[in-house]
Amino acid sequence: MPFTAKILLLGSGELGREFTISAKRLGAQVIACDSYAGAPAMQVADGFEIFSMLDADLLAAAIEKHQPDFVVPEVEAIRTEVLADFESKGITIVPSARATIMTMNRDRIREVAAVDLGLRTSRYRYAESLDEVIAGADHTGFPCVIKPVMSSSGKGQSTVRSAAELEAAWTYAVANMRGDRSRVIVEEFIAFDYEITLLTIRTRDGVYFCPPIGHRQERGDYQESWQPTPMSDTALAAAQDMARKVVDDLGGYGIFGVEYFVKGEDVIFSELSPRPHDTGMVTLLSQNLSEFDLHARAILGLPIPDITLRGPSASAVILADRDSADFHYEGLADALATPGGEVDIRLFGKPTTRPYRRMGVAIARADAADAARALAKAAADKVTIVYKD
Ligand SMILES: Nc1ncnc2c1ncn2[C@@H]1O[C@H](COP(=O)(O)OP(=O)(O)O)[C@@H](O)[C@H]1O
Ligand SMILES: [Mg+2]
């Protein structure tokens, strides 16, 4: 088959599935990799491989076997030194091996942002023992947030209000981190007015931005996101300026989800993912080109003539209650018929392994962002998961 490019996708969740669809529409061949069979992206890809991406030998073997033009990570937890090795042999790592290495751990990207680039961040210290956690909190003050440097989706993260809570937070972080080195970041708690994701696309023709996405987090996972979110011209310019600096430093082509806390006119860099962002699922309905389309175009070196917002839009998550091997969805038809604007649903078709696992998302467009949020939430609430075990 005359494919435009061969892509090895590392991580095959719901974001990987939407990316696969976008890439396939542009004629690419996609091989989807993950640690379990039937993962969302595998359902739509040309081929698949099942292995742990934290196993260096298996990861190298998959790249050797497929000889892809592009290796596209969808998750952080990858043996990134293997990617660097293949990059030096001429395989394109998206966006760059450096970006995957620097964002695998919170401390590395924080050093790039705060020290190398001088971006505004919260006050922070690293700690590898309870004593260092106590010293860290002394530096940041209370409340502070303690996070394992290797973790995602809020795992092992807690907000600490007094010195008495530090030991429990340290123990919790160590118990819920990835990797074998106990290391946390102790961060000043920012009482922000709102937080945003600024989707930033680095292409061979320059850097582009999507309108800012507002979102609300609970238990470390996003619950709803909306676009656009009101922001002053000064604050937006500050966010765009910082995003441009950091993506130019990380290099390569693709989309980045750059996260900020905003308090008044003060824009504080938080973290970034060098790939589509979960809060950006709203762009499946809100924009002419979704974050997945933009990622695919940037990677394949295709033009991005303009990014148009179709109208105020929102997404709301559909969560599982618990672990289950035998369940089905109900209420899809009702959800899609929710009145008040345009509604769409994505069901991920993946197993539920824990309470609060994200199983789907409702997306809505309406006359105003508030109305879109209410509509997305109403639609999400109509989808229920029925357990048979
Ligand atoms: N220093 C902080 N001050 C206030 N809220 C925070 C802070 N750090 C994290 N949070 C909250 O927790 C969420 C998840 O934290 P984040 O650092 O983005 O971790 P993850 O990698 O798990 O997404 C943020 O989106 C924000 O809502
Ligand atoms: Mg985050």
Last residue of a domain, one of 165, 188, 211: 188
In a domain, 116, yes or no: no
**Ligand 1 in contact with 142 (CB < 6 A)?**
no
Please tell me whether residues 317 and 343 are part of one structural domain. Answer: yes
Q: Is 291 annotated as a binding residue?
A: no
Q: Do 216 and 295 reside in the same domain of the chain?
A: yes
**Active site (annotated) includes residue 259:** yes
Ligand 1 pocket mutation pick from 108, 125, 261 by most atoms within 8 angstroms of CB: 261
Q: What's residue 274's pLDDT?
A: 98
Residues sharing a CB contact under 8 Å with residue 218, sequence separation 6 or more, in sequence order: none
Whether 49 lines ligand 1, by a CB cut-off of 6 Å, is: no
Q: What is the model's pLDDT at position 389?
A: 87
- Looking at ligand 1, which residue's alpha carbon is closest to its atom 1? 189
d(CA 348, CA 23): 18
User: Is the domain of 180 the same as that of 246?
Assistant: no
What pLDDT is recorded for position 225? 98
Q: 196: Cβ below 6 Å to ligand 1?
A: no
Residue 106 annotated as lining a ligand binding site? yes
Distance 336 CA to ligand 2 centre (A): 29
Q: What is the pLDDT of residue 1?
A: 82
Closest CA to 255 of 285, 194, 300: 300
Mark which of 138, 168, 188 sits at the end of a domain: 188
Q: Would you say 350 is a known binding-site residue?
A: yes
Mutate to test the pocket of ligand 1, among 103, 122, 157 (most ligand atoms within 8 A of CB): 157
User: Does residue 76's CB lie within 6 angstroms of at least one atom of ligand 1?
Assistant: no
Q: What is the CATH classification number for the domain harbouring 161?
A: 3.30.1490.20
**Residue 51 belongs to domain with CATH number:** 3.40.50.20
Q: Are residues 303 and 231 in the same domain?
A: yes
Domain annotation covers residue 102: no
Tell me the CATH number at 346: 3.30.470.20
- The response to whether 196 counts as a known ligand-binding position is no
With respect to residue 117, please indicate whether it lies within any of the assigned structural domains. no
Residue 152 Cβ contacting ligand 1 at under 6 Å: yes
What does the pLDDT read at residue 153?
Answer: 86
Q: Is 197 found in the same domain as 302?
A: yes
Specify if 143 maps to a domain.
yes
Asked if residue 114 belongs to a domain, the reply is: no
Residues 316 and 298 in one domain: no
Ligand at minimal distance from the CA of 160 is: 1
Domain shared by 319 and 386, yes or no: yes
* Total number of domains constituting the chain: 4
65 and 39 in a common domain: yes
72 alpha carbon – ligand 2 mean position (Å): 20
| Per-residue pLDDT, 152 | 86
Residue 99 lies in a domain: no
Rounded CA-CA distance 154/311 in Å is 30
* Backbone phi and psi for residue 351, each to the nearest 5 degrees, phi listed first: -70, 155
299-306 LR contacts (CB < 8 Å, sep 24+): 299/5, 299/7, 299/23, 299/70, 299/72, 299/92, 299/94, 299/253, 299/254, 300/4, 300/5, 300/23, 300/26, 300/28, 301/203, 301/204, 301/253, 302/26, 303/205, 304/201, 304/203, 304/205, 304/208
Mean pLDDT of residues grouped by 10 in the chain (389 residues)? 96 98 98 97 98 97 98 95 97 98 96 98 98 98 96 92 97 92 96 98 98 96 97 98 98 98 97 98 98 98 97 98 92 98 96 92 97 98 94
- Domain containing 71: what range? 6-93
* Residues 209 and 288 grouped into a single domain: yes
Q: How far is the CA of 259 from the centre of ligand 2 (A)?
A: 7
Does residue 300 share a domain with residue 197?
A: yes
Indicate whether 326 and 279 sit together in one domain: no
Residue of 271, 323, 342, 381 marked catalytic: 271
Find out whether the beta carbon of 145 lies less than 6 Å from any atom of ligand 1: yes
Sign of the four-CA dihedral 250, 252, 257, 260: positive
350 C-alpha vs ligand 2 centroid, how far in Å? 22
Do the domain assignments include residue 115? Answer: no
Q: Are residues 47 and 130 in the same domain?
A: no
Q: At a CB cut-off of 8 Å and minimum separation 6, what does 331 contact?
A: 382, 383, 384
Is there a domain that residue 38 lies in? yes
Which ligand ends up closest to the CA of 109?
Answer: 1
Q: What is the pLDDT of residues 21-66, one digit of tens each?
A: 999 999 999 999 999 999 999 999 999 999 999 999 999 999 999 9
In this structure, the residue with its CA closest to atom 16 of ligand 1 is: 154
**Which of 266, 287, 310 is the endpoint of a domain?**
310
